[in-house]
Amino acid sequence: MSQKRIAPSILAADFVNLQRDIEMVNASNADWFHIDIMDGVFVPNISFGMPVLKAITKHARKTVDVHLMIVEPDRYIQTFADLGADVLTVHFEACTHLHRTLQAIKDAGMKAGVALNPHTSVDHLEEVINDVDLVCVMSVNPGFGGQRFIENTYDKVKRLKALIERRGASTLIEIDGGVNDKNAKALIEKGADVLVAGSFVFKSEDPISTIKNLKEIVGQ
């Protein structure tokens, strides 16, 4: 079985103590940093932008997974590469020329991800799946942390896994939104590789042991 990863979402961190929370993730069993960039246009919320990302990547010592919830992501691909993103994920719904966008992300030296809103079928990825390093399956509507997990996600992940296998692709499946110790195991069983967890980690009493517990649940 391939390695299963836990990616704490910094959106749920304490921004007054951002360095402390980054060091906590560095010291934990977590695999990736998940960073949510929201523009207030593609989603009804604004998170943070380049100066904050720059501060994060200065201290982060693990893979930096950037999830762009913005319109016209092509405009900023090089900027995110320069800021230290390792994985750059764009939304399917925000890209008119998805194939071109994916190539541009790879040309800039990053892994290329595509995020699907809850209403977007995995079938839309049929023609492009071999060019995608990661599919981020949104298990809540993007824009906010702390929302309730959408149950249809299990079935969607199963269908995505089948598509990846049928096409002989090596794409990772990431789940984003409402992940906790109750749904983690079932998501892995359906085919997930990376679990993003925001509130469940940062609002817990002991984030280090919450991450450790999640890692044990996913089996690594």
Q: Which spans in the chain are helix H?
A: 18-27, 50-59, 77-82, 98-107, 153-166, 184-190, 199-202, 207-218
Active site residue 176: yes
Per CB under 6 A, contacts with ligand DX5 among 16-35 are 34
- The amino acid occupying position 218 is V
8: contact with ligand DX5 by CB under 6 A: no
Of 36, 39, 65, 86, catalytic = 36
147: contact with ligand DX5 by CB under 6 A: yes
176: contact with Zn ion by CB under 5 A: yes
Helix axes 207-218, 18-27, angle to 10 degrees: 40
Q: Which two tokens stand for residue 81?
A: 């590469």
- Least distance between ligand DX5 and beta carbon 136 (Å): 8
Nearer to Zn ion, 67 or 156 (CB): 67
Q: Which two tokens stand for residue 189?
A: 């069983």
The Cα 187–Cα 174 span in angstroms is 10
Active site residue 36: yes
- Among residues 6, 11, 102, 129, the one that binds ligand DX5 under rule CB under 6 A: 11
CB 175 within 8 A of CB 41: no
The residues that touch ligand DX5, with contacts defined as CB under 6 A, are 9, 11-12, 34, 36, 67, 140, 142-147, 176-179, 196-200
Q: Catalytic amino acids?
A: 36, 176
